[in-house]
Structure 1
């Protein structure tokens, strides 16, 4: 049970930072925060994502490109550009690294307001760091796993962030239900999102990409939004209203 508990904690903590910091803050600027809190969230991303850590700066660019070119050849992670989920994950990985290393020429409008901590990213993004995290996960399993077959779960820890991104970016453009007619294949994965912090409401998000609350129907619950509301009340972040103008040029109507 300890291993299952560890896996659940790793899943939700990693997803929280990817959803709230990478997606809603970096890519969509749904709230503001001080530079001090921004660095704290950077560290939180590193601790929870571990071997699958990605830069908020590079992710923000990639995701803005996704919204600007959804389901076209220019989309950095569209199921329509790949034969299967694994091919899409590899394509996403290559596009991400091209952005991170500067190989992709990115228009300035896609970098507006992005968080950036180059010195930290240089360490957290290094191969040595990833190997160290993988070793740490193996050590935890050595201490906690009651049987050898539990080690088969280790790849989930190794690629946690990539797996979470692939599930949403692949499945939510392939299966699910639709609340809004949009000019892409985005769908809502599940009616009650108790797995993805509200990220499963992908069709809602593509209709209202700047809206902090991804839920629109009475049965839809966006846990990420309610956590942001709490952080706003604690003055850790400052939520913007979805009517406020921000990064409009990045998101197609």
Structure 2
């Protein structure tokens, strides 16, 4: 039971960091926050993503590129230009590193106002830090696992951030249903998104790129949106009034 609770907690806490801070804040700037709260969520993201920490700067820039060039040769992660999901993940990793360390030639418009706390981003990207988190996960399993099969979950812990990314960037461009006609293959992967906290409404998001609520139809509940409303009510963030507009 302890392993299951730990896995579910890690899945959803890491996913919240990705969809709330990396995606809706860093990439799309659907809301604003103070520099103090921005650093808080940086640290929160490092803790919850752990060994698979993703740079808000690199994620934000890459996601903007994805919207601008979806399903073209310039898309940083398109199933249309990869033979399988592992090939796509490897290509994405290489582009991610080039963006993070400023080796990529990126149009300045894609870098505008992305958060950039380079000390923490480079700290989280260090192999010693990733190994440290992976070791903690492994020790927890050694202490609490009650069956050998449970150890099969460990690789997901190690790669939680990329796993969340590939669920959407691969599967939500291949399977699902469409609410809106868009110029790419983005689909809504699940009619009720219990798994990805709203991220699986990918077709909706590609049509309404600046809309903070990813759900559109009555059954499309976005679990992250009520949290955004709560944080807005608490004045931790300030939700933009034009968040129903396209990003680009």
Q: TM-score band, normalised by the shorter chain?
A: over 0.9
Query: Does the Cα contact within 8 Å between 1:51 and 1:130 map onto a contact in 2?
Result: yes
Equivalent in the alignment of 1:104 = 104
- Following TM superposition, the consecutive aligned residue runs of length 4 or more in structure 1 with deviations greater than 4 angstroms are 243-246
Aligned-residue CA RMSD (Å): 1.2
Query: Does the Cα contact within 8 Å between 1:26 and 1:56 map onto a contact in 2?
Result: yes
- Cα deviation per residue 1:64-106 (whole Å; 9 max; x = unaligned)? 0000000000000111010111111111111111111211111
Task: State the alpha-carbon separation in 1 of the partners of residues 208 and 96 from structure 2.
Answer: 24
Task: State the alpha-carbon separation in 1 of the partners of residues 186 and 73 from structure 2.
Answer: 16
Task: State the alpha-carbon separation in 2 of the partners of residues 103 and 133 from structure 1.
Answer: 27
Q: CA deviation at 1:120?
A: 1.3
Q: CA deviation at 1:122?
A: 2.0
Q: CA deviation at 1:243?
A: 5.5
Task: State the alpha-carbon separation in 1 of the partners of residues 174 and 107 from structure 2.
Answer: 29
Task: State the alpha-carbon separation in 2 of the partners of residues 148 and 222 from structure 1.
Answer: 35
Equivalent in the alignment of 2:185 = 185
Equivalent in the alignment of 1:116 = 116
Task: State the alpha-carbon separation in 1 of the partners of residues 33 and 193 from structure 2.
Answer: 26
1:31-70 equivalences in 2 (<5 Å): 31-70=31-70
Equivalent in the alignment of 2:79 = 79
Q: CA deviation at 1:148?
A: 2.5
Query: Does the Cα contact within 8 Å between 1:212 and 1:242 map onto a contact in 2?
Result: no
Q: CA deviation at 1:152?
A: 1.5
Q: CA deviation at 1:245?
A: 7.2
Query: Does the Cα contact within 8 Å between 1:13 and 1:48 map onto a contact in 2?
Result: yes
TM-score (norm: length of structure 1): 0.95
List runs of 5+ in structure 1 lacking aligned partners.
none
TM-score (norm: length of structure 2): 0.97
Task: State the alpha-carbon separation in 2 of the partners of residues 174 and 240 from structure 1.
Answer: 32
Equivalent in the alignment of 1:171 = 171
Query: Does the Cα contact within 8 Å between 2:211 and 2:245 map onto a contact in 1?
Result: no
List runs of 5+ in structure 2 lacking aligned partners.
none
Task: State the alpha-carbon separation in 2 of the partners of residues 95 and 86 from structure 1.
Answer: 14
Query: Does the Cα contact within 8 Å between 2:31 and 2:238 map onto a contact in 1?
Result: yes
Task: State the alpha-carbon separation in 1 of the partners of residues 112 and 194 from structure 2.
Answer: 32
Query: Does the Cα contact within 8 Å between 2:208 and 2:245 map onto a contact in 1?
Result: no
Equivalent in the alignment of 1:30 = 30
Q: CA deviation at 1:149?
A: 2.4
Local SS of the residue matching 1:184:
coil
Local SS of the residue matching 1:103:
coil
- Whether 1:212 aligns to 2:212 is yes
